Structure 1
Amino acid sequence: MNEQSNGVFPQLTASNLEGRQFNLPGDFEGEINLLFIAFVREQQDIVDRWVNEAKTLANSHPKLCYYELPTICKVNVVYRKFINGGIRTEIQDLKARESTITLYLDKMDFRSSLEIPDEETIYVMLVDRKGSVLWRTEGKFTEEKLEELNKALSQ
């Protein structure tokens, strides 16, 4: 899956943990954006490892921004506030809260649009503001995946 370069991030509206609303993918702030799509709480350690690398990459690639996208099924506003509040209390860092955009949506449609076969692991995608997927991988961070990502960033 590492070599795929197709697909488009779907248009949707969501808010970050600070309450800012985004119309995605157009409101992603980078010319290119590294997305960490996770489906269950137990995947957070995998996301955290990737985010550590993303911080370093963003320092050397000024056009790059990164976002954590916890992906949850549609729920009503009360549950959204409860879930976001729980996530927010776990994240002390303002930058991390600003770059965490919780997606409440039909997960099957979302996964289908991005050709994500299951929710067993996280998916990492490099996208532009139009939503074009420029690079993608899945699962735990490895040096090999970082090398592939760096190649994609250099193009």
Structure 2
Amino acid sequence: MSEAPVRNLNMLLVEEQTLLRKTVSLTARSLGLGTVHEAASMQAAERMLRERAFHGAVISIDCGADENCHYNLALLDKVRNGLSASAASIPIAVMVDQATADLMRELRERHVNRVILKPFRAKILLEAFESFGTVAAQR
């Protein structure tokens, strides 16, 4: 199988911050990485996942300053349980503000390919999307 990345990928970015979404989306397109579909909320992401198949997703799951926060992993569960138009095995990267041992265990159980700690540079997201093309080429 080819190790060369697949181009023309459909990828999903779930992130509240408009500027970050736009920057990553436009840069990915200009670099020929594919199309990054933007979702500002989990509800919008759920709708998009029902309607279209993606080659990979980067999903922000924030807790902020709330010490008693429980990360919402429902979107990950829906994809991994085959409740979306995408393959249940698509690569998923998760953006988090802190990585506790419990969260890392839960993400491993959900076969998350990459954890991105905030704050980060947009280049990190682009690298994650680029890796999705390599995974798609191996299938």
Q: Tell me which interval the TM-score lies in, with the shorter structure as reference length.
A: 0.3 to 0.5
TM-score by length of 1: 0.32
